[in-house]
């Protein structure tokens, strides 16, 4: 899923500025699961804004709504009236949802309440960790299913570097596991250390971000 | 006297409240809940929005929760609610959590005195 976390409150408030009718729009998919921008989080943000406004004698109306996804157009119809009413939309979706919301409601200002972080997994309750950077040409089969691009701090395809100590990465030895230690351990466990004997050639990054904004067309699904 | 809302775990805090009987201060609104782990951050803030001057959460003693970690979760959510109060420019003391067993009458009374309820 896409993992995000909420921006600091003051930043959100400054983006809202003088808008007096504010729609806080949650997303019911990834950011609900990572507890950053679902229904509960819209309520918490709304409550905090109302308390702050009351303290500062600001009169402002807030509405909260959460749609199934903000990355598919059809779900926005449910909030069309709220959007019409609002001066500004505070989207609690990932960066994709924020932009798409603006593409659907072209005459509205849409601002992001979250910082979108990465594609990751829930490693324990309340803890999410990065697993993939969407390089566009998956090479997991060469590395025992552990991504050297996402999980090595330097995205080395022929690792490890000299900074690997006790299974941890020199970039942050307290918190970041060395991706290459993980790859080695996994390859040993599945009996495929032979694969690591091969030197990996340069990767073609044009399938990734370096090739510019990407798109996928699935012909049999188009209308 | 300030008006407070007390979220009380039915296994501990609410039993203390019941045992206080008539000596329970009238300006405390009781919300009985099955476990403080059920309490949401926005629920605490909503009470403040609706006029409570303070919110008190009465949970079971740490390491003695019927649902194992409900009270620990509540403590973390109380901390998050305090953060939201600070964000809003309010005092974080408006929300408070206390851990007590069903027998801790004296403790609850002392908390009420400290909070200016009695
Ligand atoms: S190789 Fe590319 S697609 Fe595969 S997990 Fe890594 S970043 Fe993602
Ligand atoms: S220590 Fe490991 S994870 Fe860190 S940069 Fe070197 S090889 Fe990559």
Q: Do B87 and A55 touch (CB under 8 A)?
A: no
Using pLDDT thresholds of 50, 70 and 90, give the confidence band for residue B22: confident
Q: Show the DSSP H helices in A128-170 as ranges.
A: 148-151
Q: Do A51 and B40 touch (CB under 8 A)?
A: no
**86-115 in chain B: CB under 8 A from chain A:** 87-90
> What pLDDT, on a 0 to 100 scale, did the predictor assign at position B87?
98
Q: Do A43 and B88 touch (CB under 8 A)?
A: no
* Per-residue model confidence as pLDDT tens digits over B56-89: 999 999 999 999 999 999 999 999 999 999 999 9
Q: Which atom of ligand 2 is nearest to the CA of A164?
A: 1
Residue B1 has pLDDT above 80, yes or no: no
For A177, the 3-state DSSP assignment is strand
Exposure class string for A166-183: b at 16+ Cβ within 10 A, else e: eebbeeeeeeebbbbbbb
> Rounded to an integer, what distance in angstroms lies between the CA atom of residue A31 and that of residue A54?
29
Q: Do A40 and B89 touch (CB under 8 A)?
A: no
> What pLDDT, on a 0 to 100 scale, did the predictor assign at position B23?
85
Q: Do B87 and A10 touch (CB under 8 A)?
A: yes
* Per-residue model confidence as pLDDT tens digits over B36-45: 999 999 999 9
* Per-residue model confidence as pLDDT tens digits over B43-56: 999 999 999 999 99
> What pLDDT, on a 0 to 100 scale, did the predictor assign at position A23?
98
Q: Which atom of ligand 2 is nearest to the CA of A159?
A: 7
Q: Which domain holds residue B36?
A: 4-114
B-chain residues near A52 (CB < 8 A): 87-89
Let me know how many helices (H) and strands (E) chain A has, helices first.
7, 7
- The CA distance from B106 to the nearest CA of chain A, in Å, is 34
Cβ-in-10-Å burial (0-12, 13-18, 19+) of B109 comes to middle
Backbone angles phi, psi at A141, to 5 degrees: -65, -20
Read off the CATH number of the domain in which B75 is found.
3.40.50
Q: What is the ipTM of this complex?
A: 0.93
B-chain residues near A56 (CB < 8 A): 89
Mutation target for B interface from A9, A16, A37, A47: give the one with most B CBs within 10 A.
A47
* Cβ proximity of A103 and A177 under 8 Å: no
Helix pair B13-20, B105-114: axis angle to 10 deg: 90
Q: Which domains does chain A have, with CATH numbers?
A: 2-117 (3.40.50.2300), 135-197 (no CATH)
Domain count, chain B: 1
Residue B93 has pLDDT above 70, yes or no: yes
**34-73 in chain B: CB under 8 A from chain A:** 40-42, 45-46, 48-49
Q: How far is the CA of A34 from the centre of ligand 2 (A)?
A: 27
**38-77 in chain A: CB under 8 A from chain B:** 40, 43-44, 47-52, 54-56
Task: Please name the residues in contact with B41: beta carbons below 8 A apart, sequence gap of 6 or more.
Answer: A40, A44, B77, B80, B81, B84
- The CA distance from A74 to the nearest CA of chain B, in Å, is 29
Nearest Cα to Cα of residue B68 among A217, A95, A125, A161 = A125
Average pLDDT of adjacent 10-residue blocks, chain A of 223 residues? 98 98 98 98 98 98 98 97 98 98 98 98 96 97 97 97 97 98 98 95 95 96 95
> What pLDDT, on a 0 to 100 scale, did the predictor assign at position A15?
98
What pTM did the predictor assign? Answer: 0.94
* DSSP for B2-29, written as a single string: --EEEEEETTTHHHHHHHHGGGS-TTEE
């Amino acid at each position: 899923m896409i993992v995000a976390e909420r921006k600091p409150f003051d930043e959100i408030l400054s983006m809202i500025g003088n808008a007096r009718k504010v729609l806080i729009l949650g997303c019911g998919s990834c950011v609900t699961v990572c507890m950053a921008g679902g229904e509960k989080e819209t309520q918490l943000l709304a409550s905090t804004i109302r308390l702050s406004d009351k303290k500062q004698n600001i009169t402002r109306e807030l509405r909260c709504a959460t749609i199934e996804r903000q990355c598919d157009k059809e779900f926005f119809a449910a909030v069309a009236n709220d959007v019409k009413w609002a001066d500004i939309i505070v989207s609690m979706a990932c960066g994709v949802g924020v932009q798409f919301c603006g593409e659907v409601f072209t005459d509205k200002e849409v601002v992001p309440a979250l910082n979108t972080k990465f594609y990751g997994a829930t490693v324990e309750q309340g803890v999410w960790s990065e697993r993939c950077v969407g390089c566009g040409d998956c090479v997991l089969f060469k590395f025992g299913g552990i991504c050297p691009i996402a999980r090595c701090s330097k995205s080395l395809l022929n690792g490890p570097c000299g900074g690997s100590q006790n299974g941890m990465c020199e970039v942050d030895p307290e918190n970041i596991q060395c991706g290459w230690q993980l790859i080695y351990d996994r390859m040993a466990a599945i009996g495929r250390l032979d694969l690591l004997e091969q030197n990996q050639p340069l990767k073609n990054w044009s399938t990734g971000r370096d090739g510019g904004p990407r798109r996928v067309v699935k012909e049999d699904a188009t209308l | 006297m300030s008006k407070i809302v007390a979220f009380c775990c039915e296994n501990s805090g609410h039993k203390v409240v019941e045992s206080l009987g008539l000596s329970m201060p009238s300006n405390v609104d009781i919300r009985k809940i099955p476990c403080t782990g059920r309490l949401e951050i926005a629920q605490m803030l909503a009470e403040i929005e609706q006029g409570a001057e303070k919110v008190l959460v009465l949970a079971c003693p740490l390491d003695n929760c019927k649902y194992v970690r409900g009270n620990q979760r509540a403590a973390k959510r109380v901390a998050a609610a305090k953060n939201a109060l600070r964000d809003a420019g309010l005092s974080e003391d408006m929300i408070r959590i206390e851990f007590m067993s069903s027998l801790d009458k004296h403790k609850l009374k002392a908390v009420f005195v400290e909070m200016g309820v009695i």
